[in-house]
Amino acid sequence: MLSKLQPLTRLDVTKTYLPPQERYNQYLEEIWQQGWITNNGPIVQKLERNLETYLGVKHLQYVTNGTIALQLAIRAFELTGEIITTPYSYIATTSSILWENCTPVFVDIDGKSLCIDANLIEAQITNKTSAIMATHVYGLPCEVEKIGAIAKRYNLKVIYDGAHAFGVKINGTSIYQYGDVSTASFHATKLFHTIEGGAVITQNSELSEKLFLSKAFGHRAEEYYQVGINGKNSEFHAAMGLCNLPMVDSIIGQRKAIFERYAALLSGLPVRILQIDKNITYNYAYFPVIFETHDDMLKVKAALEQENIFPRRYFYPSLNRLPFREGEACPVSEDISQKVLCLPFYHQLAQQDVQRIALIIRKSL
């Protein structure tokens, strides 16, 4: 009698790192003993200080998620009118602008870095422009010096969506030191996570206090200073962050090895992968592949899914083509968004699975 074939193990685009359960339980015991589970508790405060040290930044406010971080930044500067932004990002970059009653003005991306093309920004500045909000796409830095110079010339604020950029450095300096505010996402799919969570980061102490009040209903104790919302996070989420933070360097090292293995196995195929400049300390957050045509991408996607492997069209669609906020034509972003797939990529991805994925792609092309 023939035995039934075992189904292939499902491979998703990412897999959440979970620390040893006993390590997390130690923090749970501490939380239970103290009875302090939210409202800027000691574990939240410890995580903030540890993150400031690890990331090399002065002021970090831990918040509920990366989208709230963007909204807090917009609100802290009391931005109005138009905000220049990228069409190649997760929807939160655009939705946070719209949610705060501002207008996103899309500027096309650079075809190499996939970040906003700094050479095109100035032409889109009007008397209604109040800020530039750019994304470090897949963790690759924007042209921060050029963007900073433009912002200074026109008296604009700069907000960086650094959801992908945890641990990234330029010439040894944290990417989060650039701009007036940088934000981070600590969602469970990210390189470093706190299950749900994020951060808003600045080098300015007065602004940091304003951001703290903004996330905490606008008050400290019985003194009220401004309008605020509830953007706080809990001791339970912060505890997960304290468990995961010591593992980040090891995780990045393992991801680097997988990145290099993918790159070697896909060499010679009609595809393009990320090119990392020598002055960048990269975090290997994603492994996007840009195919030559939309049809090639769809063919590979279908072939992988047939083998129980699920890449992601990340980012798709180009945000200037959203049905509720169509914007200016951005031909580079629109083209790449039609041809990109992020492959399964996480530190525990087995070498044989990397080889299997690469072989399917090679056969498909």
For the cut 80, the answer to whether the pLDDT of residue 5 exceeds it is no
Number of Cβ atoms within 10 Å of the Cβ of 255:
22
For the cut 60, the answer to whether the pLDDT of residue 3 exceeds it is no
Q: How far is C-alpha 3 from the geometric centre of its chain's CA atoms?
A: 45
Let me know: does 280 contact 261? Beta carbons within 8 Å. no
pLDDT of residue 7: 58
pLDDT of residue 295: 98
In the chain, the percentage of residues whose pLDDT exceeds 90 is 96
For the cut 70, the answer to whether the pLDDT of residue 152 exceeds it is yes
Looking at CATH, the fold of the domain delimited by 21-246 is given as Aspartate Aminotransferase; domain 2 (3.40.640)
For the cut 50, the answer to whether the pLDDT of residue 50 exceeds it is yes
Nearest to 213 by CA among 61, 67, 45: 61
Which residue in this structure is represented by tokens 């905490």? 216
DSSP-derived pairing of the beta strands 325-326 and 321-322: antiparallel
Nearest to 116 by CA among 124, 106, 126: 106
Q: For 289-303, how does the pLDDT look when each residue is reduced to its tens digit (9 = 90+)?
A: 999 999 999 999 999
Peptide bond into 317 cis (omega under 30): yes
1: pLDDT confidence band, cut at 50, 70 and 90? very low
CA dist 85 and 96 (Å) reads 11
Let me know: does 79 contact 102? Beta carbons within 8 Å. yes
For the cut 60, the answer to whether the pLDDT of residue 277 exceeds it is yes
Class of domain 247-364: alpha beta
What are the residue boundaries of the structural domains of the chain, listed by start?
21-246, 247-364
pLDDT of residue 4: 47
Let me know: does 238 contact 194? Beta carbons within 8 Å. yes
Taking the whole predicted model, whether its pTM rises above 0.85 is answered as yes
Overall average pLDDT of the 155-169 stretch: 98
Q: What is the mean pLDDT of the chain?
A: 96
Q: Compute the C-alpha angle 79/82/88, nearest 5°.
A: 110
Structure tokens at 213: 């009040």
In a 13 Å sphere around the CA of 16, the CA atoms on its Cβ side amount to: 13
CA dist 160 and 28 (Å) reads 34
CA dist 181 and 98 (Å) reads 18
Measure Cα distances from 48 to 165, 210, 335 in Å: 17, 16, 39
b/e per residue, 35-60, with b = 16+ CB within 10 A? eeeeebbebbebbbebbbebbebebb
b/e per residue, 63-80, with b = 16+ CB within 10 A? bbbbbbbbbbbbbbbebe
Q: For 198-213, how does the pLDDT look when each residue is reduced to its tens digit (9 = 90+)?
A: 999 999 999 999 999 9
